[in-house]
């Protein structure tokens, strides 16, 4: 791992091109991420994941995915069932807290079963954002609820379910995306809420789950902390809020560096992300020119960032050996009508 660069990269299609193989071998990203465009059938997914790891010569190179349930779910039938959204878990929790927590754990445990069979080892879940009335719907029903306590409780159950199934959880989007008035895929939002209110609501779920191994930043400006830079490129937000206020000392990755919320060319984006204190730059779309620019300004993964990466990988181990059929049957008792 000491020879890896501090980046997580995607690829363009369902198999690696010669250019991608050469590029990954030469630049050695620490990890990879896959999307729906990359996934079509089991053998193909196995081959793609194996080829990614072969390029960097590390059988433990993590492969990430966004598999939440609801509208953000990269694996779809027949590769994995269509699962309910976090909001559905939140509704169940509102009626019966014990049932809601168990269902959240089970859903993540099933995600781990679905993903693990294809060699995917990290899921960008739980979503710990707390939406407010009038915010952009980019979070919406991806959230577990509208109170920090409910989001933290269900988020913990979801993270525990992933880890019980041997997958790495990635909490997002720290320090909180729930107030954003714009979709960060398309624009850069500014949140003008007071620091006291942010501490009370937005930061609280992340503080409760600060022991998780990996977190993903928000491309959001918090004017009460840093009126110029989004969290992803703000040394002030990362050091004062994420590291000290929230208390997260795990591996910090950026949200996708190709989102329009960030500005500047891609080499400058990579430098700004790392200089602000992120451990890893994430780039998702597989565009070769953009990846080359990212790699040009991405340094080796070393020092405290390397140690955090090692700790993260060491935290993933299968501890629950319940038969998958039994897990699915139990989950069906809670929310089976919402599974397609």
Active-site positions read 185, 255
Distance CA 208, CA 330 (A): 28
Matching residue, tokens 């107030």: 179
The C-alpha atoms of residue 242 and residue 30 are separated, in whole angstroms, by 22
Output the DSSP codes for 238-255.
Answer: IIIIIIIIS---SEEEEE
What are the CA-CA distances from residue 124 to residues 73, 145, 173, 196 (Å)? 11, 18, 10, 28
3-state helix, strand, coil in the chain (%, to 5): 45, 15, 40
CB atoms near residue 236 (< 10 Å): 15
The residues with which 32 forms a beta bridge, in sequence order, are 9, 63
Largest Cα–Cα distance of the chain, in whole Å?
54
Evaluate whether 114 touches 73 at the Cβ level (below 8 Å). Answer: no
| 3-state secondary structure (DSSP) of residue 110 | helix
- Collapsed DSSP state (helix, strand, coil) of residue 190: strand
Angle between helices 18-27 and 42-56 (to 10 degrees): 40
Tell the residue number behind the tokens 């609801």, with chain if given.
70
Dist. CA 185–CA 257, nearest whole Å: 10
């Amino acid at each position: 791992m000491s020879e890896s660069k501090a980046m997580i990269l995607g690829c363009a299609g369902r198999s690696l091109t010669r250019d991608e193989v050469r590029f990954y071998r030469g630049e050695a990203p620490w990890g990879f991420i896959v999307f729906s465009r990359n996934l079509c059938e089991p053998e193909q997914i196995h081959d793609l994941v194996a080829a990614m790891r072969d390029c960097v010569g590390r059988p433990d190179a993590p492969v990430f995915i966004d598999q939440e349930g609801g509208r953000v779910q990269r694996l779809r039938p027949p590769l994995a069932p269509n699962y309910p959204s976090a909001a559905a878990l939140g509704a169940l929790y509102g009626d019966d807290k014990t049932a809601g927590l168990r269902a959240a754990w089970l859903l993540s445990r099933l995600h781990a079963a679905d993903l693990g069979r294809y060699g995917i080892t990290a899921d960008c879940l739980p979503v710990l954002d707390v939406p407010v009335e009038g915010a952009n719907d980019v979070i919406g029903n991806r959230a577990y609820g509208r109170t920090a306590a409910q989001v933290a409780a269900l988020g913990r159950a979801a993270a525990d379910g992933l880890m019980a199934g041997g997958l790495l959880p990635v909490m997002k989007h720290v320090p909180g995306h729930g107030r954003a008035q714009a979709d960060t895929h398309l624009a850069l939002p500014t949140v003008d809420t007071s620091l006291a209110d942010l501490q009370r609501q937005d930061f609280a779920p992340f503080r409760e789950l600060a022991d998780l191994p990996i977190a993903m930043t928000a491309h959001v400006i918090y004017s009460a902390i840093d009126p110029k830079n989004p969290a992803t490129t703000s040394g002030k937000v990362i050091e004062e809020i994420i590291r000290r206020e929230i208390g997260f000392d795990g591996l910090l990755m950026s949200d996708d560096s190709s989102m329009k919320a960030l500005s500047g060319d891609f080499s400058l984006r990579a430098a700004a992300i790392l200089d602000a204190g992120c451990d890893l730059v994430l780039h998702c779309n597989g565009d070769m020119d953009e990846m080359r620019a990212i790699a040009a300004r991405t340094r080796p993964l070393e020092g405290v960032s390397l140690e955090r990466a090692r700790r993260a990988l060491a935290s993933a181990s299968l501890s629950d050996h319940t038969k998958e059929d039994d897990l699915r049957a139990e989950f069906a008792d809670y929310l089976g009508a919402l599974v397609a």
